[in-house]
Structure 1
Amino acid sequence: MSEPITFKRHLRMNTPEKADFFDQTAQGVLSQPLDRPEGKLKVTGTASYADDVHPPETAYGWFVRAPIAKGWVTGLNTAELRAMPGVLAVIRDDRMIMHPAQGQQGKSPPQGPSEVFYAGQPVALVVAETFEQARDAAQAARPELIDRSDKAALKLPLDDYETPKSKQAAQGDLDKAMTEAAFAVDQVYETPSMSHSAMEPHAAVAWWDDGKLTVRGSYQMLKTNVAELADALGISARKVRILAPYVGGGFGGKLGISHEAVGAAIAAQRLGRPVAIALHRRNVYEATHRRSESRQRIRLAAGADGRLAGIGHEAWVSSMFGDSFSEPVTQASPFTYAGENRVIGHHVARLNLTAPGSMRAPGEAIGVPIVELAMDELAQAAGLDPVELRLRNIPDEDPSTGKPFSSNRLEDCLRQGAERFGWADRPEPGARREGEWLIGMGMASAVRVNTLEPSEAAIILLPDGTARVETDMTDIGTGSYAILTQIAAEALGLPVERVTTVLGDSDLPPSSGSGGSFGAASSGSSVLLAAQALRAQLAERMGCDADEMTLKDGQAIAGNRTRALPDLLAGDTLRGEGAIDPGATSQTVRQATWGAQFAEVAVSTVTGEVQLRRLAATFACGRILNPKTARSQCIGGMIFGIGSALTEHVAHDPRDGHFVNRDLAEYHVPANLDVPKIDIAFLPDRDAHANPMQAKGIGELACCGTAGAIVNAIANATGKRFREFPVTLDKVLAALG
């Protein structure tokens, strides 16, 4: 292959993209429900995930974890562990005690105390010849402890918290608005801690070669992960490579580097051989981050016509000591509904529990459903239909900043969604009964902020007229391989089978990564820009302007001339590089995605069981790049919402903070029989402010309103309000008496 001739296109989104590029292309593969290119590999079990490929001589690691919530580890039964079969090393505090056969004569370097912040925290690593030997030795570990668990903070307080100034906002006089309101709601709601529970547990396989580290891992954002791992090891990021071609679910749980990558890297370096660490499901629950529990106070003040004069949303969440992250519960509340008097409050308690972190739709996933419960309570108090109340309170601009919306399709989603669902047949609360079953309908708005992140990609156009897309973007089950292939194929006029997409290698151009519902739009935009750089060069070879040339089925057409790409390339290899950066359009307008979600439930008066009969949603989220993968994302997000409403709840033992339900037998995610047929509709939508493709995120929007719709449906069925998630049968039975 000849040395590529490189061309670049870099775009900063400072102005909206007035011209829709894809309205001018001719291949017709974008926005089509094409199958995933890697689909056969996944369904036949031949796609290689993090722990599926072990280099020769791989050793295995297993963590020793703290049995206390607070205190120090002052020692370890190291000699006993070293003597166990197959044990190669014991690592503690980034220092390793070698097996005598490794040349250290059994001498242990001095060990300082390790501080413990939560039960289950990894405090040492045992490495052995086999997985079973490492596990058995680690489980035989007996850490020496100074236990301060009796002083640990293990429950979210309402009177002992931090109030970061940057996360508070107020306008007008909400207290006065509440006093003068014709109808008002002032309630406290609670959501529990939750776990990501991805199908593939966290895993990493690490090896060193000539001073460079390679890690096969299950991670979502390789550009960031490389920097994190390099920082943890104290080496240059240029010496770190991460491979993550397939990721078996992430949901935010694999955004950052976790213990297994750092431990495997340290052990591999010291032992001079590859080391694999795969976390047991219980280790995943105990040692990776969670979604914070929350207490949320909602205040709504409305006039006699149901129009909001004030809205207050205050949230109390938890975080680990010294951690800057806290669940952004109120993220959508400043702009979803109107009201001139407003209070946004954010309060953080420091707890001795695993660190909270991003989990699918951080903020909105637990904030939006709670606001939607309060809106339903207000609708009932005001004697208004819940859909009508929301329609009356859609703002013309962001009421917290005065910025215009780049687009606001909430009204369209509400009206069309209600009609599609048959909302007009909604019964009065507690009025419809079928034997032991009470039947009800509920709805909720769905909203999620939309963002663009820096992202880069390359497309190599080969002499035979085929193309290869390269970027370190990951596919966490969302369809990245499919949509990036479709974008390149559409822009270059190639059948999809003539485009190969290579992902999940940090040596490739750095992308946005998968997270925040920005992955497809950000990485896809960089692929589009790379293709446009190539189109400009192909047009030059055709002797015309790029907008005068049509690319279709591997041929370039301009005027009355048609040339096949191999002929046009004349043996050359062209490389297009694209880079996208957020710009002024991220600041001058309010960008969001919109939806309306509807549910019908049956509630047993005998058992308290909630059966979900119907679930539907209408979404407006920019250009849909692939309806099949988009629909799959919506189904997954809405099932996430079912879990939030009805089953999912991390339980901590209040004595020491350890996880009580730390596996999928006890942490109840929705199963097949819990999920009805889900009806999903996408409204035709474009947002020129978002990115050159006018696409937006979808995977997180879908879970933002689901739980609210379901719990509102339970209230409609029973005539009782539920203000604590999840709504389990014991709570239903207690409410029904």
Structure 2
Amino acid sequence: MEMNQPAAPNALDLNRQGLMGKPLDRVDGRLKVTGSAPYAYEVQESKRRPAVGFVLEASIAKGRVAGIDVAAAEQAPGVLLVMTHRNAPPQAPFGEQDGEDRFARPRPQLNDAQIRYYGQPIAFVVAETFEQARAAARLIDVRYAAERGEYELASNLGKAEKPQGGKGREPDTYVGDFNGAFASAAVKIDVTYTTPVHIHAQMEPHASTAWWEGDRVVIHCSSQLLESAQKCVSNTLQIPDEKVRIVSRYIGGGFGGKLPIYGDVLLAAMASRQLGRPVKTALTRQQMFHVTTHRSNTIQRLRLGAAPDGVLTAIGHESWSHSARFDDFYESSAMCTRTLYAGANRMTQHRSLKLDLPVSDSTRAPGEAVGMLALEC
């Protein structure tokens, strides 16, 4: 988006709907405050009691699983299934973006022995109860072949590259002659800001309950994008879209972190198909910091040039962020700078560094939350 003229008053400014300033009922409010709203983990298929799954995470950040012994876990009380890369069903590989919908890409789970980030799911234990599944997961003996990884943005900036763009997400924009205007400006500001990683930590953890009705899977999950979730499941499991039903009646906090789907959805679906009964699972509070997406930390350089009367003559905003090795999302921190202030000479640039970290993606006010901090400070 590029705006070169002041914006006129819009429908929100004029309150055309007549809603602002008036008390409105939250139609689901009573259910939520009384604990009556059934969230994804609490849904139960009427005929069969669900089994419960627990995710075992990798304890190294890069390498591969050299060996995994699940014998003790399989013999533990109540255990129904221990799924690893050795017995997980076939899935499509992590794929390229499906048109404009990056959330519809396949997101395979337990598909190989490679460890791409700390906390990556490496096993899924299903038992009659949560406690049994968790206890059995602790009995799994894992041997790793660790590899050296890269985890820090600041010390690897020289390796950062121009990220892939997309409609409305062009990484770089240039208007006029920023370098010349900044060099000749009467007043200059040249500052660098850094922001840390942000984690959503929603009140409701990422959770799913799944069961199969013949060759059709029904998944209750906490999702902000139902159609994308449906396509992601169908693309990953390689089944038709119409064979996947996604239900998300209530979301206990999303903020962009529930735009993608995660291992809880796919692992529950795969285990349910193998066991022939409903399976539910929820990420623990600790697992949410590893298995789900986050906002990258950023390094932002802001340069402003102005005339003696304060009129801006040069605006430059450069931003560096990180992504996972196997992904290409970038934090669009400089994008808001393109629309807020006029100027004949403007430059915005984004560079992204691939690190051995979990996937970064949309986090409450993606780009704006950290970009506005740099621009307005």
TM-score w.r.t. structure 1 length? Answer: 0.44
Pick the aligned partner of 1:46 from 36, 57, 61.
36
Instruction: Give the alignment of 1:45-124 within 5 angstroms.
Output: 45-55=35-45, 56-93=48-85, 95-96=87-88, 113-124=112-123
Q: Report the CA distance shift for 1:24/1:330 in structure 2 as closer, same or farther (over 3 A).
A: closer
Q: Report the CA distance shift for 1:65/1:306 in structure 2 as closer, same or farther (over 3 A).
A: same
Instruction: Give the alignment of 1:491-506 within 5 angstroms.
Output: none
Partner of 2:127: 128
Q: Report the CA distance shift for 1:29/1:339 in structure 2 as closer, same or farther (over 3 A).
A: closer
Are 1:152 and 2:149 matched, yes or no?
Answer: yes
- Counterpart of 2:29, as a letter, is G
- Counterpart of 1:154, as a letter, is Y
Q: Would you say the 8 A contact 1:90–1:96 is kept in 2? A: no
Cα shift readout 1:383-436 (whole Å, capped 9, x = no counterpart):
xxxxxxxxxxxxxxxxxxxxxxxxxxxxxxxxxxxxxxxxxxxxxxxxxxxxxx
Partner of 1:198: 202
Cα shift readout 1:247-281 (whole Å, capped 9, x = no counterpart):
10000111011100000000000000000111110
Q: Would you say the 8 A contact 1:75–1:113 is kept in 2? A: no
- Counterpart of 2:138, as a letter, is Q
Are 1:344 and 2:344 matched, yes or no?
Answer: no
1:359 to partner: Cα distance: 0.7
In 1, the alpha carbon distance for the partners of 2:213 and 2:72 equals 32
Cα shift readout 1:664-723 (whole Å, capped 9, x = no counterpart):
xxxxxxxxxxxxxxxxxxxxxxxxxxxxxxxxxxxxxxxxxxxxxxxxxxxxxxxxxxxx
Partner of 2:318: 314
1:69 to partner: Cα distance: 0.8
Q: Please list every run of 5 or more consecutive structure 2 residues that lacks an aligned counterpart in the other structure.
A: 1-9, 90-109, 165-169
Partner of 1:262: 266
1:75 to partner: Cα distance: 2.3
In 2, the alpha carbon distance for the partners of 1:329 and 1:204 equals 32
In 2, the alpha carbon distance for the partners of 1:134 and 1:334 equals 51
In 2, the alpha carbon distance for the partners of 1:94 and 1:187 equals 51
1:45 to partner: Cα distance: 0.7
In 2, the alpha carbon distance for the partners of 1:367 and 1:290 equals 16
Are 1:302 and 2:306 matched, yes or no?
Answer: yes
Secondary structure in 2 matching 1:334 = helix
Are 1:224 and 2:218 matched, yes or no?
Answer: no
1:74 to partner: Cα distance: 2.8
Cα shift readout 1:608-666 (whole Å, capped 9, x = no counterpart):
xxxxxxxxxxxxxxxxxxxxxxxxxxxxxxxxxxxxxxxxxxxxxxxxxxxxxxxxxxx
In 2, the alpha carbon distance for the partners of 1:224 and 1:327 equals 21
Q: Report the CA distance shift for 1:345/1:138 in structure 2 as closer, same or farther (over 3 A).
A: same
Partner of 1:163: 162
Q: Would you say the 8 A contact 1:61–1:275 is kept in 2? A: yes
1:153 to partner: Cα distance: 0.8
In 1, the alpha carbon distance for the partners of 2:77 and 2:88 equals 18
Cα shift readout 1:73-94 (whole Å, capped 9, x = no counterpart):
1321111211111111111238
Pick the aligned partner of 1:34 from 17, 24, 27.
24
Q: Report the CA distance shift for 1:81/1:317 in structure 2 as closer, same or farther (over 3 A).
A: same
In 1, the alpha carbon distance for the partners of 2:364 and 2:19 equals 29
- Counterpart of 1:199, as a letter, is M
Q: Considering Cα pairs closer than 8 Å and 6+ residues apart, tell me whether 1 or 2 has the greater RCO.
A: 2
In 1, the alpha carbon distance for the partners of 2:16 and 2:203 equals 40
Q: Would you say the 8 A contact 1:89–1:96 is kept in 2? A: no
In 1, the alpha carbon distance for the partners of 2:325 and 2:236 equals 19
Partner of 1:325: 329
1:243 to partner: Cα distance: 1.2
Q: Please list every run of 5 or more consecutive structure 1 residues that lacks an aligned counterpart in the other structure.
A: 1-17, 98-110, 374-737
1:29 to partner: Cα distance: 7.9
Cα shift readout 1:467-506 (whole Å, capped 9, x = no counterpart):
xxxxxxxxxxxxxxxxxxxxxxxxxxxxxxxxxxxxxxxx
Secondary structure in 2 matching 1:95 = coil
Q: Would you say the 8 A contact 2:163–2:330 is kept in 1? A: no
Partner of 1:414: none
Secondary structure in 1 matching 2:201 = coil
Secondary structure in 2 matching 1:80 = helix
Secondary structure in 2 matching 1:159 = helix
The 10-residue stretch of structure 1 (295-304 or 80-89) with the greater mean CA deviation from structure 2? 80-89
Q: Would you say the 8 A contact 1:94–1:266 is kept in 2? A: no
Secondary structure in 2 matching 1:310 = strand
In 1, the alpha carbon distance for the partners of 2:199 and 2:277 equals 33
1:146 to partner: Cα distance: 1.0
Cα shift readout 1:41-63 (whole Å, capped 9, x = no counterpart):
11111011111123332111111
In 2, the alpha carbon distance for the partners of 1:153 and 1:54 equals 43
1:24 to partner: Cα distance: 11
- Counterpart of 2:117, as a letter, is Y
In the comparison of the two structures, how many residue pairs are matched? 338
In 2, the alpha carbon distance for the partners of 1:265 and 1:363 equals 33
Secondary structure in 1 matching 2:295 = coil
Partner of 1:356: 360
Q: Would you say the 8 A contact 1:74–1:113 is kept in 2? A: no
Higher Cα Rg: structure 1 or 2?
Answer: 1
